[in-house]
Chain A
Amino acid sequence: MTVTQKLTMAHFRTPLFNDWCPGCGDFGILSSIQMALAELQLEPHRVVVFSGIGCSSKTPHYINTYGIHTVHGRPLPFAIAAKLANPSLTVLAVGGDGDGLGIGAGHFVAAGRRNVDITYILYDNGVYGLTKGQASPTLRRGLKTKALPRPNLNDAVNPVALAIVCGYTFVARGYAYDTRHLKELIKLGIQHKGTSFIQVLQPCPTYNDLHTKEWYAGEDRVDPDTKKPVPRLYKLEETGYDGEVKSPSEEEAVAKAVEAIKRSYEWGDRIPIGVFYRNPYVPTYDQRIASIAPIYLQSPPALQPIRTKSMKPVADVSPLFDELRVLY
């Protein structure tokens, strides 16, 4: 492929049979990712998509970029290290709500503290699909989806609020069936310098019989005047909300974070999607490394020579031996 050829969604598809359930929200998220990559004209071999375990974590196999399907809960550590080793790569991590906020919760928190320039997309359907519908960390207390033998006893994590307090510098929420909107969020996330977190609400047509496509569309509550359903989802940007921090002031960052967290608790009749919070003033991790070792930016691990043509090491450790040398 030459660089002049315009990349389309087709360049980002693989010929594999996709074994997600018919109607799964994953399809919408997959398309949104492929559209975003194509619109950003990113060369497929310069992109790596990491995933954890679960239905959604099969995503990389369906995208024609480097695809690394890792361990349950661990896409972030893999992705962060790959990005730090070769900062010229565009790195995405994807995974489910159980993957990211259950078994991988520790990594979720730690990633927020680092602001490595990657984009993390969390597929949130409230259930563990591949193991037949157990409650995930985002299912609210007292709810009983159809595979549960009893109502859920645990309170739900609020992924947007958690991401903000952990320090993620771009925090957004999308909806799996609004692919145009989601695609724009993913593009913004990739373009943001720092760790971007995008929670994607998605129905699980097989196991989550509560938060269905119809429920999100508000089909259970018809406006008596228009006789039309009143959708539960609304777009933050359409309400004049702006979560972007506009100055390096700590005070503004905190005020914006508090406002975003407040918004993130809206649920039920009105559920916001869009960009909740964005702070471009937090130094990225590569900048932090460079503040100690300026050479890192010019010569990150993947670009460093380690051996000569004759396979000899190029590192000169004689000064290290000198520090330890016995002087008689």
Chain B
Amino acid sequence: MGKNGGKKRFTLSWMIGGAQGSGVDSSANLFAYSIASAGYYVFGKREYYSNIKGEHSYFNVVAADSPVRSTVDNVHILASFDSETVFRHAWEVEAGGGIIYDVALENESLKNIPTIEERLKSEISEKLKNENVGETLRDVITVAKRRGVRTYPIPYMDLIKKTGEIIGEKQLTLLLRMVNTMAVAASFAILKADINRLHRGLSYAFRAKRAVVDMNFAACKVVYDYVKDNFSDDFPLTLPNRKNGEDLILVNGTTIVGIAKIVAGCRFQSYYPITPAADESVYIEDKQVFNLNAVSALDEYEYPHLAESKQLSEKGHILVFQSEDELAAIDMAIGASLAGIRAATSTSGPGFSLMAEGLGWAGMNEVPIVVTLFQRGGPSTGLPTRHEQADLLFAIFAGHGEFPRIVMASGDMTEAFYDTIKAFNYAEKFQVPVIHLLDKSLANSTQTIPIPSIDDVLLDRGLLINEHLEDRGYKRFQFTEDGISPRAPLGTRGAIFWNTGDEHDELGHISEDPVIRTRMMDKRMGKLELIKESIPAGDKVATYGDPDAKDWIVSWGSTKGPILDALEMLEEEGVGPIGFLQVKILHPFPAELCLETLQSARRIIDIEQNYSGQMGKLMAMESGLRPTNLILKYNGRPFTSTEIRDAVKEVLVRNTKRIVMNRGG
């Protein structure tokens, strides 16, 4: 168990679970925000079924006194208000930890819980049998106690009644929903945390609904006092308020990407509802009207209509369009982009499969668009609400024929913010579709991060023109030295052009001329070299750890968080030195940079959340470097830091060639 004080990082792993629709999310947000408000850094992972109501979901929040980027396998406090959560997760609570549960449910039996899969039921049943106990919640609690776990039976119903008396509400059914909040308050009491921070957390979790906040806070106080009065205060971890000088936000991946798109100047986003990507579009739609600043310093050439009118708007607007399918979603982004605006679409694997068609058209017609791709478990419908990184090769190769594109992947929330903006810059500068890879883990995790600064953000629109004076002289696909032709929005005087998915001439008319075909292919595909030359090394790869290490981890995307946390643990244990190369631009692949870093490596340990080690294969194809060891996971749950720590140790000790991890409920 992590300890307070000393040099070692203080870490608390807290989990809450419950039936979907019972407020697990809000209670986790409440806990995370309140703890952050008490001065801690947090990282929270959300796990849920593809279901609206009834199936089990849980949220694991790690709080620490330094920035934290992942979850761990062990749990210090398990907060529950149903029995299923305890049946499933009591086993993860470490000795000395605690379980908060509803005392009224002690007689509930494992076999009567329909939402626990048969396979897991037998596993739990086996564990209970080995302990010579029955199969009720009370038995699970007994077994936990034997392992030294503290237990906190809470009479939720009595406390709800008491709350009702205090706030003068006789209709108890109105108050029943608050059990989730009460489980959080019990956690706060056990951890000796400041109950007033819960009030801030309630305001965050329930947004402006004042009455709801007050009612919940009243319930919090009742539970907080109950726990203080009825249980010993010997829990080994405490969370006193601490000073945190950093200006932080608590945010998830879909929200940070949504904000970044507004900053980036994206003014049209199309999407078709899909998990987990849809949250991003819904967030933007909710914030579709926003403030503008610095409108006085516009370029008169760029915005002639505004220079004349003098009546500048103080508001901006982004149009979010829910299309009939993903075929239309990408085509709409292209159509909007043709009108000269920054446009994007956002989707997950099954939607991206449909987008392959439009992607090729955008590549063929050199239309800048951004496709935000939140990967989830595949293939087909796969694991709709679970995590995977198995769309990398598909993103690079989707579409028939050959056309240039950029595929980039963000490792964390902050990267996701800046990468979103870069994606639009790349798309317009090189006039190519850009696929921005994210994943379910980033989408649905919450994390405290420093407020991204936009002081250094620049919007590079490339060779965008808004008038062409010589009538009829304009050629949309004019052959140029670097392959980039001046791009005019639809409606521009003097710049009429044609687009076609057919091979075409400089004007954009269909051409099957073999000479033109070769020149046009060279023009388009040649942009990949330009992209390689133009994007700075630091945007393509990042290295961490000891630069002289002989053992190197390679990875991409959201595995960055658990890898960095694992590296800290390994360093503390004296294991290493180990280097970590994170590849951020996956296509065109930065082969030279990989070779520079890895050519003298003894081991290249490829860590990915897919079956086949897709980036390892890509690296081999592009650079000749082959991973020596693979650490993979494809059970739908993101890597924990402890899991990576253990797997890396196994590689270092036994040189295991392929390790498949399988932790997480």
Contacts and interface: CB of A to CB of B under 8 A. Distances in A.
Query: A and B: real partners?
Result: yes
Interface of A: 1, 14, 16, 44-46, 48, 50, 53, 58, 60-61, 64-71, 73-74, 76-82, 84-86, 88-89, 106-107, 109-110, 289, 292-293, 295-296, 298-317, 319-321, 323-328
Interface string B224-256: 000000000000000000011001111100010
B546 interface: no
B268 A85 contact: yes
Nearest to B341: A301
A306 B342 contact: yes
Given A71-B357, A293-B317, A320 B491 contact: no
A314 B293 contact: yes
Given A89-B490, A312-B458, A326-B448, A71 B332 contact: no
A93 B490 CA distance: 15
A58 B502 CA distance: 10
Nearest to B298: A305
Contact of A302 (B33, B341, B451): B341
Contact of B265 (A65, A69, A303, A307): A307
5 contacts: A66-B497, A76-B328, A88-B491, A303-B305, A305-B312
B167 interface: no
Contacts of B329: 77
Contacts of B303: 305
B37 A314 contact: no
- Residue among B244, B341, B361, B497 facing the most chain A CB atoms (10 A cut-off): B341
Nearest to A318: B291
Contact of A78 (B264, B335, B508): B335
Nearest to B246: A326
Given A314-B294, A324-B251, A45 B495 contact: yes
B267 interface: yes
B491 A46 contact: yes
Contact of B491 (A45, A58, A106): A45
B335 A77 contact: yes
A84 B336 contact: yes
Contacts of B530: none
Given A81-B268, A328-B37, A314 B295 contact: yes
B37 A327 contact: yes
Given A293-B317, A308-B294, A326-B244, 7 more contacts: A45-B493, A66-B496, A293-B288, A303-B305, A309-B302, A313-B454, A315-B262
Interface string B461-497: 1000000000100000000000000000111111111
Most buried by B among A48, A66, A74, A308: A66
Given A302-B489, A314-B294, A320 B262 contact: yes
A131 B451 CA distance: 57
A319 B510 contact: no
Interface stretch (B88-96, B137-145, B319-327, B622-630): B319-327
A85 B333 CA distance: 10
A320 B501 CA distance: 40
A80 B335 contact: yes
A48 B332 contact: no
B416 interface: no
Contact of A326 (B33, B291, B495, B496): B33
A321 B451 contact: yes
A210 B198 CA distance: 77
A326 B36 contact: yes
Contacts of A325: 247-249, 451
Interface string B284-319: 000111111111011100110110000011011111
A67 B499 contact: yes
Contacts of B325: 106
Given A71-B501, A306-B342, A319-B291, A296 B306 contact: no
Contact of A317 (B263, B305, B497, B501): B263
Interface of B: 33, 36-39, 200, 207, 243-244, 247-251, 255, 259, 262-265, 267-268, 270, 287-295, 297-299, 302-303, 305-306, 312-313, 315-319, 321, 323-325, 327-329, 331-336, 338-343, 357-358, 361, 448, 451-452, 454, 457-461, 471, 489-502, 508-510
Contacts of B335: 50, 68, 77-82, 85
Given A68-B498, A81-B268, A110-B323, A301 B247 contact: no
Contacts of A53: 501
A327 B200 contact: yes
A318 to B, nearest CB: 8
A86 B489 contact: yes
Contacts of A312: 294, 454, 457-459
Contacts, number: 259
A66 B336 CA distance: 14
A11 to B, nearest CB: 11
A73 B334 CA distance: 15
B259 A317 contact: yes
B34 to A, nearest CB: 10
A316 B290 CA distance: 7
Nearest to A16: B509
A51 B369 CA distance: 20
A308 B340 CA distance: 17
B332 A69 contact: no
B341 A315 contact: no
A45 B509 contact: no
A62 to B, nearest CB: 10
B541 to A, nearest CB: 26
A81 B336 contact: yes
A78 B358 CA distance: 10
A308 B298 contact: yes
A235 B294 CA distance: 58
Contacts of A82: 335-336, 338-339, 490
A106 B341 contact: no
Contact of A86 (B244, B247, B490, B494): B490
Closest 5 CB pairs of A and B: A306-B265, A81-B335, A110-B324, A81-B332, A85-B339
Contact of B297 (A310, A321, A328): A310
Contacts of B361: 70-71
A78 to B, nearest CB: 4
Nearest to B263: A313
Contacts of B248: 325-326
A299 B341 CA distance: 13
A43 B207 CA distance: 50
B497 to A, nearest CB: 7
Contacts of B262: 315, 317, 320
Interface centre among A14, A64, A68, A308 (most CB of B within 10 A): A68
Contact of B292 (A61, A78, A289, A315): A315
Contacts of A68: 335, 338, 490, 498-499
Nearest to B285: A292
A65 B499 CA distance: 12
Given A302-B489, A320-B262, A324-B251, A311 B459 contact: yes
B358 A71 contact: yes
Contact of B458 (A67, A106, A311): A311
Nearest to B327: A74
B267 A289 contact: no
B451 to A, nearest CB: 5
Contacts of B471: 1
Contacts of A16: 509
A310 B37 CA distance: 37
Contacts of B316: 295, 299, 304, 306, 314-315
Contact of A85 (B207, B336, B497, B508): B336
Contacts of B461: 307
Contacts of B328: 74, 76-77, 106-107, 110
B289 A293 contact: yes
